[in-house]
Amino acid sequence: MRDSMEEILVKAHPVIFRDYKKSPQETCLAWGLECGDGWFAIIKELCKDVDEYCKDRPFVIVADQVKEKFGTLRFYYHTERSGGEDSDEDYRVIRDIVSKYERLSEVTCEVTGQPGTMHMRSPSGWIRTLSKEQAKIGGYVVVPKSQRL
């Protein structure tokens, strides 16, 4: 993702992205958000929902890594207690929020943000979720649903 887009997310969600661009010995966010610009809106909404849920809770969510893996968004995080008690329900809700947006990336072009499907590039086997136009430009072919992870 372009630095300018990443910086918008970091400014809007300073707690979630507090480790952004720290050293590689501290965080995988040292390399920024490792996905295309097309998922900016997905990540923005994910962070908004997480922040909204956590605002009156005894913990915060901190991103460890945000990247594309096997054609979909991966949002790795940890919780940090800020006092009080948290619950299994809190963890389930956060997990469900993250899963919702990771699933949305399965049908959103990583490059453009338009509707997309999983495509594979031969012979490397690299999988990305792309629009038909972006797949054609990059030499990707559709991955049959039976072969998706």
Q: What are 96-129's pLDDT values in tens digits?
A: 999 999 999 999 999 999 999 999 987 778 899 9
Whole-model pTM: value is 0.92
Interatomic CA distance for residues 28 and 19, integer angstroms? 9
Phi and psi, residue 141, nearest 5°: -120, 155
Interatomic CA distance for residues 58 and 60, integer angstroms? 7
Q: What is the CA radius of gyration of the chain?
A: 16
Residues 6 or more apart whose CB falls under 8 angstroms from that of 137 comprise none
> Quick check: helix, strand or coil at residue 35?
coil
Q: Where are the beta strands (DSSP E) in the chain?
A: 59-69, 72-81, 117-121, 126-130, 140-142
pLDDT tens digits along 36-55: 999 999 999 999 999 999 99
Residue 118, Ramachandran bin (φ over 0: left; ψ between -120 and 50: alpha; else beta): beta
| 39 neighbors 110 (Cβ within 8 angstroms) | yes
> Quick check: helix, strand or coil at residue 120?
strand
pLDDT tens digits along 52-80: 999 988 889 999 999 999 999 999 999 98
What is the reported pLDDT for 82? 75
Smallest CA-to-CA distance from 121 within 67, 84, 71, 76 is with 71
Mean pLDDT, the chain, integer: 93
